[in-house]
Amino acid sequence: MTRLANGTRDPRGTAAWRRLRRQCYERDRARDARCHICGQRIDYALAPSSAPDAYEADHLRDVDTHPELALLPENVGPSHRRCNRARGRKAGIDNVGNRSRDWSRG
């Protein structure tokens, strides 16, 4: 069993997290949600977390600092596996991924 920095059990190893992760994947795939970090499209044809451009559920607020938000769908955003792993445990998303304009629309 993995523990958080505060000594509590890490909820990411639970069946509740696996259910939530699947629900968020279905939610994000249905609306073709873009990566909340880089703003680019996610390849939903790939199995989740299987490749750099595949979907990966990302906690918007870190589980170590906000364990009470770990199992809330509002705290789980769509990301590319590569973006999520590159961001790691860096501070929230307030200033990450904000674009001056939506360049995908030309």
- 79 burial level (CB within 10 Å; 0-12, 13-18, 19+): buried
What is the per-residue pLDDT across 14-55, written as a single tens digit (0 to 9) for each?
899 999 999 999 999 999 999 999 999 999 999 999 999 999
The single residue listed with the structure tokens 């609306």 is: 31
96 band by pLDDT with thresholds 50, 70 and 90: very low
What is the model's pLDDT at position 102? 58
What is the model's pLDDT at position 65? 86
**Averaged over 76-83, what is the pLDDT?**
96
104 band by pLDDT with thresholds 50, 70 and 90: low
pLDDT at 95 over 80: no
* Helix/strand/coil percent split, the chain, to 5: 35, 10, 55
**Averaged over 98-103, what is the pLDDT?**
54
What is the model's pLDDT at position 91? 56
Cα(61)–Cα(59) distance, integer angstroms:
5
Q: Which residues contact 11 (CB under 8 A, 6 or more apart)?
A: 17, 63, 67, 70, 71
Cα(41)–Cα(50) distance, integer angstroms:
16
What is the pTM assigned to this prediction? 0.77
